[in-house]
Amino acid sequence: MKRTNRQKGFILLLVIALIPLLGMASVVLTSNSRQILTNTRRAALKTHARFACESGITWLEKNPKATISSDQPRLLEINQENKTITCTIELISQAGDRSTFTVTGHAEDRRFSYRHPQKFVLKH
């Protein structure tokens, strides 16, 4: 009588051993992708806040005769889905033909927030 070796049990053990390894690999890839997504969202908000600040400076250059008082800052809003982007323009001082402003860009979503303040001197 001839004996034949069956290898079906070996393959089954190999498959059972590979399932936890695939699970661990998916957990590692998921955590890495979540970290990359978080860093991307933060970088995007920093960029939006910086661009909002630059938009406020451009608005000041285009509208030099706009009345902005020190007690009433000007607020510019940019509508974007799932984000709130604003630019606040405040008059700090006025001396002769120069006005000094603080332009602050602010961007936030449901988890993160970022501000980008900048001083700007406008010559009349």
pLDDT digits (tens, 9 = 90+) for 9-59: 788 888 888 999 999 999 999 999 999 999 999 999 999 999 999 999 999
> Of 71, 72, 56, 66, nearest to 124 (Cα)?
66
Q: What percent of the chain has pLDDT over 90?
A: 52
The CATH superfamily assigned to 9-123 is CAC2371-like domains (2.20.130.10)
pLDDT of 6: 63
